[in-house]
Amino acid sequence: MTDSLPGAAVREVGGQLVISHESTELRFVPAEDLARLPMPHTQRLRLQHFLEHREQPYLG
């Protein structure tokens, strides 16, 4: 389980990561390691926007 607020960092508070039909791998990684992970461009963009602490989501 994670605890988060819009525009705030996510922190792990308990529970287990569970793979579903929508995922093949789950893990927590430091933000500095994201650039070397394979992922779709749109997912990378969402993570980049989150790390920029934007007040409004990009809906483009």
For the chain, how many structural domains are there in total? Answer: 1
What pLDDT does residue 10 have? 64
Neighbours of 44 (CB within 10 A): 14
DSSP state letter for 51? H
- Tell me whether residue 7 is in a domain: yes
- Tell me whether residue 59 is in a domain: no
What pLDDT does residue 7 have? 52
- Tell me whether residue 6 is in a domain: yes
The three-state secondary structure class of 36 is helix
- Positive or negative, the CA dihedral 15, 43, 29, 54 is negative
Q: By residue range, what is the domain housing residue 36?
A: 2-51
- Tell me whether residue 56 is in a domain: no
- Tell me whether residue 58 is in a domain: no
- Tell me whether residue 45 is in a domain: yes
Which structure tokens are listed for 9?
A: 């960092």
pTM of the model: 0.58
- Tell me whether residue 57 is in a domain: no
What pLDDT does residue 1 have? 47
Local confidence pLDDT in tens for the 60 residues of the chain = 444 445 556 666 777 888 889 888 888 888 899 999 998 998 898 889 889 988 887 776
